[in-house]
Chain A
Amino acid sequence: MGSMIALILVVLMTALSIGIAIYSRRWTRTTAEFYVAGRKISWMENALALTGDYLSAASFLGVAGGICMLGIDKVWDALGYFGGYIVLLFLLAVPLRNLGKYTAAEIITTRFESKTLRVMAMAGTVVICGFYLVPQMLGAGALLQLLLDWDYLFAEIVVGVLIIVYVTLGGMRATTYNQMIQAVVLWGAMFCILMLTLSSFYGFNPVAILTTADGIIPPQLAANLLKDNPNTPNLEDMSAREVVDFVINNNPDATERGLTPGTFAPDWLNTFSLAMGIVFGTAGLPHILMRYYTVKRGKDARTSTLGVLASVGTFYIMSTFVGFAAMYLLYPDLVGLLLAGEASVAKNMAVPMMGELVGGEWLMGIACAGAFAAILSTVAGLIITATTSMTHDLYKMINPDASERKELMVAKSLTVVIGIAAIILALVLRGQNVSYLVTLAFGIAASTFFPVLSMCVWWRDYTRQGALATMIVGLIVSVAYVVAKLAGMTSLMGLPILVNPGLYSIPAAFIAGIVVSLLTDDRGNVDKFLAKAHTSE
């Protein structure tokens, strides 16, 4: 399905977003207009930048991609990503802003002076960024596969090299403005796709999208049913309705439909684990926490987060509808792709494919271009967060006399290392849904930084040893269960492997922190720290 127009749009959008980002910084210095009210809109700028940071391949491609494959169980991705900001708003946004620190490690070590804690926080940051990074690479690879019919391996290498060059040459400058622009492009693209879908196929009745999906065996299940069926006709020649009916008529025992819970998370353990892992994950994502540094005051931290709730909430509602619409409208394509072994395209490309269906090559191109630019900037943000942490929290400790310039150089060389590692992991994990992989990163974040940060800013009797125990237990348990899941194991240490580690690792981290804190007594700079965290400027 290679498309020249789409490819040109991707290249243009990438160039344009870099160009606008550069020009925007120049504009903020040299424009002759002086708005006294300028400061008042800063919360909006921050809300947009946060939105741009948050809407990566997982949200844009993965949410709708997952929903169209498996149905309502995948709506949890959207709900959790959205709800995560509520947790952040109520528990952490204001204290983190008041502390004025920008890496998780710095926040923790402001209360507890400990090198071990700093290194542990660095490890957590790198692991979370890594798990978040790989699905972005996967999404970009699948995009190039779709657009250019490239081989996946080749596509991944191209993307990896492009990203390394982007980060080492462009670096961090002007990323804030870039994120703002992307927030607008992605939101706008999703809006156009949904509106055109509603007008072309559903007579502007969104409920019809849902009721139609309720009569469909989700594509991923359908492909499993058809896999061994020798009577499977050539799906390409059939309409969506024909394929849907064929699958249902040939499998009278299959009761699952698009709106039947349990297609992905089959029981309460899995459902709760997934819901927990995502909703508490946002408040532990290093690159999102870092963004609060640009917010001016505690009050702005709240209003910015409210802005994000509005923008990402509406975005996920639209994505949910687009996903369910794709389940029906693209049914023959999706099932066909899965049967042909093109899982990475089938599970992640529903949004661009919907763009093509309702708006032709142009809309597909815009969707791809937006997604690609979002991936580039998210990856850049993640790599920079990881390398900053590695140089700031580890290298600076080993070599305290290193100049800023040297530190920056080390950070840039680490970029190359991380980039190569990401390419390799993206090759290993091919064929997975992008959003699913990101929910795993959320699970790790929810088990590592969410417990330690919330206890740090809210609990007077929390101790240095307790903080260390929280992070070690949270990180080890969550990573162990994620790796076990990806390796296809069914149980670990007597517990069944779930779709997300959250149900085990989040309570484990809290319990470890509480028990160890009750047994030890180094509370760190507790008075000063808590006073600062809870006093707005």
Chain B
Amino acid sequence: MEHKDDMEPKEPKKEIKKTQPKKIILATDGSMPALMATKKAVELAVLMNTSIIAVAVEEDTPQMELEKREEELAEEQYRLIHVDGLKVAEEYAKQKGVKIETRNIVDGPIVGAILDVAKHEETAMIVLGNSGRSGWEKLSLGSVAESMVNHSTFPVLVTKVTTDGYEEDIRYLDDILSIAKSFPAEVKKAVEKVLEAPDIKGRLRFSLKYLALFLVPYFGLAGVNSLYKDFAMTEVFAGLSVAVVGAFLLYPIAWTLGLAFNKAYESKYEA
């Protein structure tokens, strides 16, 4: 997060605080409820004569492709629309003459990340939409709005898109929705970089060298156990035979090789 520079003398800083009104933190994920929050936040900023910091949090939890897809499908019914929340907020605020700053945070937890921004800013309040999840979905994903109300030390404004007054809500959101149309959520695609073909043969030699250092003792033990049974049964340590000691030795051998490989790989290919 950004921190204010503390190099300035204390007195003038206080001056600045007095003249600068506290900001509104807007949390958006580009869904319909978030657009409602965006519109409210901008209206409030006009009334309060202040600026907005719009925050979007991308989650970064370990999930398999299918886990993600199932969750996204279930989310659709609550999102109603999927747009680039930060760009819409930026454009809408600009139209209404409100100063806005955007932050995209590439790590969850959603609530924690938003609160972290709020704590490091002169925050007046946090505005966010309520998805209206219920039942299973609320159980499994929880409610960001609810958690925000519980954890925030700042005032929190939660907006809603209601099913009863849906038509009315949509009419109210008309202007921001028309902006939203031009900012569909980007499907994240890895940037196709033109990559230089690395030295495959050298890398293969490097990998095979380490692999051989493991496979030779591994298959060596298999050979000893099956072809030289008398030797395999010879006692070597604490009454234990070559076959037994050999088996247990393979573990530390593998661990050592694994660590050595990792270290060598780092210095050779990632330096």
Contact = CB atoms under 8 A, between A and B. Distances in A.
B210 A33 contact: no
B109 A176 contact: no
Interface string B200-228: 10011001101100110011011101110
Interface in B119-159: 139-144, 146-147, 151
Contact of B229 (A76, A262, A405): A262
Q: Which of B140, B198, B262, B270 gathers the greatest number of chain A CB atoms within 10 Å? A: B140
B37 interface: no
A28 B108 contact: yes
A303 B218 contact: no
Contact of A176 (B59, B63, B143, B215): B63
Contact of A102 (B64, B111, B144, B240): B64
Contacts of A276: 219
B6 interface: no
B196 A531 contact: yes
Contacts of B210: 90
A30 B144 contact: yes
Contact of B64 (A34, A275, A290, A536): A290
Contacts of B70: 171-173, 408
Contact of A313 (B63, B110, B244, B251): B251
Contacts of B214: 83, 86-87, 90
Nearest to B76: A405
A171 B67 CA distance: 8
Q: Which of A34, A46, A83 gathers the greatest number of chain B CB atoms within 10 Å? A: A34
Contacts of A214: 239, 241
A91 B211 contact: yes
Contacts of B144: 29-30
A534 B247 CA distance: 33
A166 interface: no
Interface stretch (B17-25, B92-100, B170-178, B252-260): B252-260
A26 B142 contact: yes
A396 interface: no
Contacts of A536: 269-270
Q: Which of A90, A100, A175 gathers the greatest number of chain B CB atoms within 10 Å? A: A90
B14 to A, nearest CB: 28
A33 to B, nearest CB: 5
Contact of A30 (B147, B222, B229, B244): B147
Contacts of A174: 67, 140
A125 interface: no
Size bin of chain B's contact surface:
35 or more
Interface residues of A, number: 87
A261 B251 contact: no
Given A86-B214, A317-B251, A530-B197, A294 B62 contact: yes
A92 to B, nearest CB: 9
A515 to B, nearest CB: 20
Contact of A75 (B59, B110, B240, B247): B247
B200 A530 contact: yes
Given A25-B140, A38-B107, A207-B240, A32 B147 contact: yes
Interface string A17-37: 000001001111111111110
Contact of B141 (A29, A32, A295, A305): A29
Nearest to A78: B247
A176 B113 CA distance: 22
Interface string B9-30: 0000000000000000000000
Contacts of B226: 261-262, 265, 267-268, 270-272
A228 to B, nearest CB: 28
A122 to B, nearest CB: 15
A86 B258 contact: yes
B239 A207 contact: yes
Given A89-B258, A173-B71, A271 B222 contact: yes
Nearest to B195: A531
A369 interface: no
Given A261-B243, A294-B62, A275 B254 contact: no
A94 B261 CA distance: 12
B198 A309 contact: no
Shortest 5 CB-CB contacts between residues of A and residues of B: A34-B112, A531-B195, A26-B142, A30-B147, A32-B151
Interface of B: 1, 59-67, 69-71, 73, 107-113, 115-116, 139-144, 146-147, 151, 190, 195-198, 200, 203-204, 207-208, 210-211, 214-215, 218-219, 221-223, 225-227, 229, 232-233, 238-241, 243-244, 247-248, 250-251, 254-255, 257-259, 261-262, 265-266, 269-270
Interface of A: 22, 25-36, 38-39, 42, 45-46, 49, 72, 75-76, 79, 82-83, 86-87, 89-91, 94, 100, 102, 171-176, 207, 210-211, 214, 259-262, 265, 267-268, 270-272, 275-276, 279, 290-291, 293-295, 299, 302-303, 305-306, 309-310, 313, 316-317, 320, 384, 388, 404-405, 408, 458, 460, 527-528, 530-532, 534-536
